[in-house]
Chains A and B, each alone.
Chain A
């Protein structure tokens, strides 16, 4: 079974569901490690700096987005690491996944509507298309 899984999260409901799928897969193999990745979106940087007073508050609010997923993994005793990356979410996840030779990428779909998807582009769609290993998109 898979030994190296990348779990991309954005702090939403869907990334929790993705985490649950990861747990199902990872529990089948004791050797399996999960890398939980959160991408700080370039285009949101200005907004987030404006709306937080100082770096500590901002860093904390980002780490908070990882907490629920971390908790799920901890409860099930699945070994994991966390990483905060910076860039445009889609390409950054793809680059990270391909450079670190993951065997499986798991990502939640954001569930945008048709118009939003046209304007913003779907991260999970991009990841699914361009990552070299199998990708599990969780709805």
Chain B
């Protein structure tokens, strides 16, 4: 135990502290931007990022993964915040945590394998598109200076890393461009126009909501969507960090950890969050490997806000928008265009459907659920193809069945036979098939009866043992055919 703590926390101290600091710097603009998307004060996102990162450092299942306020979660909260306000958001955040802990306890993480990659690709693409669309109102219809500043920010964040790697380029863009704006006195919308920054630590309080069934009915749909989307992004991020570091992680522990982190943040005035792909990649790339890196990221972020809060409100909105556009470009899966051409037709449709449903409903959870259902239907349709080959010999008719016989394929199965034959021996050969359920047995019964009407003798051949067990139930009351090997 002690050994494990030592390894997860203190085996990489120097690099963990450095990478944690880098991540803290990169987190600030995102936490503010995601607060603005959700429609709450920047402090709500900043507190969330501090509390979630620090909590998850202790209780998470994946060391070196960064969790904080995220775009995916912020997008889900928009209607709740708009209609009911901040306190309901906090209640939803706490409930999200409770649901996620239950997911962890009941080992829901295992269900991740049922989410096809087409849905995951659709998920990240839809996320990138929605975050991008959320930036558009801050650009369009504003002054020309706005366009210029967005442009300069993009140039800085894309060109500068060629020459300077030690300091994150978005931070340089923020510092330089905020300084220029203040010095030259350029009139532009700043972060402070959209909400204040309080230079104090978060405090514990119970959200001011009526504790009744009505409140639960309002909050629950949001919480369940937040819980699903949060886990989805967290577990995807965990696999990416697993892969980058060549190590394993405990996905159910991570689910419970996300839940605990959300409960904590909800009671301290922060919004629900989850793991962040981009930040976790930055952390690992900067050398972060242990829990200490996540802890330092959260702590250093809070420290920066306490010290530099007055300057943060002066950050021009166009700079923040420019950085968010960079985040969107990084989130979007650009190989999707090749994927659309090369992947199986049905996978491409599932991916597109996921994106379209999310963009239309502004709800990531709906897109994911629809995508999973759609791909399940495609899968059933694919394996429901059943082929019956007829072959007529001197003394018997031979029907070879190829494919899976179950509820989705029984209709085609029954229709595929030639029922015009009379008074012969009919052999139905199941060697290339498998009988799955009672509707399959029913279909076999129907076929046998039709042949018996025309005085044929039916023999069923080549059932494997589990198929035979199912079909034997039928022979109890229907003695009109024979099962043979």
B90-119 Cβ-contact flags toward A at 8 Å (1 or 0): 000000000000000000000001001100
Chain B residues, CB < 8 A from A45: 240, 243-244, 281
Q: Which of B113, B239, B246 contacts A86 (CB 8 A)?
A: B246
* B335 and chain A: residue at smallest CB distance: A47
User: Does the CB pair A42–B281 fall under 8 Å?
Assistant: yes
Chain B residues, CB < 8 A from A50: 117, 120-121, 124, 236, 333
What CA separation (Å) do A40 and B124 show in the bound complex? 22
Chain A residues, CB < 8 A from B124: 50
Stretch in A51-59, A67-75, A127-135 touching the partner:
A51-59
Q: How extensive is the interface on chain A, given as a class?
A: 10 to 19
Q: Which of A46, A51, A53, A88 contacts B240 (CB 8 A)?
A: A46
Chain A residues, CB < 8 A from B147: none
Residue B56, interface by CB 8 Å: no
What CA separation (Å) do A73 and B236 show in the bound complex? 37
What CA separation (Å) do A19 and B68 show in the bound complex? 46
Chain A residues, CB < 8 A from B284: 42
* B120 and chain A: residue at smallest CB distance: A50
Residue B14, interface by CB 8 Å: no
What CA separation (Å) do A55 and B246 show in the bound complex? 11
Chain A residues, CB < 8 A from B246: 40, 86
What CA separation (Å) do A126 and B222 show in the bound complex? 50
* B277 and chain A: residue at smallest CB distance: A46
* A48 and chain B: residue at smallest CB distance: B243
Shortest distance in angstroms between B29's beta carbon and chain A's nearest beta carbon? Answer: 20
What CA separation (Å) do A35 and B285 show in the bound complex? 25
Chain B residues, CB < 8 A from A46: 240, 277, 281
What CA separation (Å) do A46 and B336 show in the bound complex? 13
What CA separation (Å) do A85 and B335 show in the bound complex? 24
A86-109 Cβ-contact flags toward B at 8 Å (1 or 0): 101000000000000000000000
Shortest distance in angstroms between B127's beta carbon and chain A's nearest beta carbon? Answer: 12
Question: Given A42-B244, A49-B236, A49-B240 in contact, is the A54-B113 Cβ separation under 8 Å?
Answer: yes
Shortest distance in angstroms between B329's beta carbon and chain A's nearest beta carbon? Answer: 13
Q: Which of A49, A51, A55 contacts B335 (CB 8 A)?
A: A51
What CA separation (Å) do A51 and B116 show in the bound complex? 10
Chain A residues, CB < 8 A from B113: 53-54
What CA separation (Å) do A46 and B281 show in the bound complex? 8
Shortest distance in angstroms between A44's beta carbon and chain B's nearest beta carbon? Answer: 10
Shortest distance in angstroms between A121's beta carbon and chain B's nearest beta carbon? Answer: 9
What CA separation (Å) do A49 and B117 show in the bound complex? 9
Query: Could you tell me how many residues of chain B have their Cβ less than 8 Å away from some Cβ of chain A?
Result: 21
- Please count the residue pairs between chain A and chain B whose beta carbons lie under 8 angstroms apart in the complex: 46
Which residues of B (333-347) have their CB < 8 Å from a CB of A? Answer: 333, 335, 339
Chain B residues, CB < 8 A from A51: 117, 121, 335, 339
Shortest distance in angstroms between B352's beta carbon and chain A's nearest beta carbon? Answer: 15
User: Does the CB pair B285–A42 fall under 8 Å?
Assistant: yes
B119-138 Cβ-contact flags toward A at 8 Å (1 or 0): 01100100000000000000
Which of the listed residues B116, B117, B121, B243 has the most CB atoms from chain A within 10 Å of its own CB? Answer: B243
Shortest distance in angstroms between A62's beta carbon and chain B's nearest beta carbon? Answer: 10
Chain A residues, CB < 8 A from B277: 46
Q: Which of B243, B244, B333 contacts A58 (CB 8 A)?
A: B243
Shortest distance in angstroms between A53's beta carbon and chain B's nearest beta carbon? Answer: 5
B241-257 Cβ-contact flags toward A at 8 Å (1 or 0): 01111100000000000
* B284 and chain A: residue at smallest CB distance: A42
Question: Given A42-B284, A50-B333 in contact, is the A86-B117 Cβ separation under 8 Å?
Answer: no
Chain B residues, CB < 8 A from A48: 243
Shortest distance in angstroms between B47's beta carbon and chain A's nearest beta carbon? Answer: 28
* B113 and chain A: residue at smallest CB distance: A54
Shortest distance in angstroms between A124's beta carbon and chain B's nearest beta carbon? Answer: 19
* B124 and chain A: residue at smallest CB distance: A50
What CA separation (Å) do A50 and B236 show in the bound complex? 8
Q: Which of B116, B239, B339 contacts A49 (CB 8 A)?
A: B239
User: Does the CB pair B117–A53 fall under 8 Å?
Assistant: yes
B333-366 Cβ-contact flags toward A at 8 Å (1 or 0): 1010001000000000000000000000000000
Chain A residues, CB < 8 A from B240: 45-46, 49
What CA separation (Å) do A117 and B418 show in the bound complex? 66
User: Does the CB pair B243–A40 fall under 8 Å?
Assistant: yes
Chain A residues, CB < 8 A from B244: 40, 42, 45, 86
Chain B residues, CB < 8 A from A43: 281, 285
What CA separation (Å) do A40 and B117 show in the bound complex? 20
Question: Given A54-B113, A86-B246 in contact, is the A47-B239 Cβ separation under 8 Å?
Answer: no
Which residues of B (308-340) have their CB < 8 Å from a CB of A? Answer: 333, 335, 339
A interface, CB within 8 angstroms of B: 40, 42-43, 45-55, 58, 86, 88
Kindly list the 10 A-B residue pairs having the minimum CB-CB distance in the complex, ordered from nearest.
Answer: A45-B244, A45-B243, A49-B240, A49-B239, A86-B246, A46-B240, A53-B117, A50-B121, A45-B240, A42-B285
B interface, CB within 8 angstroms of A: 113, 116-117, 120-121, 124, 236, 239-240, 242-246, 277, 281, 284-285, 333, 335, 339
**Given A48-B243, A86-B244, 17 other A-B residues pairs in contact with their CB atoms under 8 A:** A40-B243, A42-B284, A43-B281, A43-B285, A45-B240, A45-B244, A45-B281, A47-B333, A49-B236, A49-B240, A50-B121, A50-B124, A50-B333, A53-B117, A54-B113, A55-B242, A58-B243
> What are 29 A-to-B residue pairs whose CB atoms are below 8 Å?
A40-B244, A42-B244, A42-B281, A43-B285, A45-B240, A45-B243, A45-B244, A45-B281, A46-B240, A48-B243, A49-B236, A49-B243, A50-B120, A50-B121, A50-B124, A50-B333, A51-B117, A51-B121, A51-B335, A51-B339, A53-B113, A53-B117, A55-B242, A55-B243, A58-B243, A86-B244, A86-B245, A86-B246, A88-B285
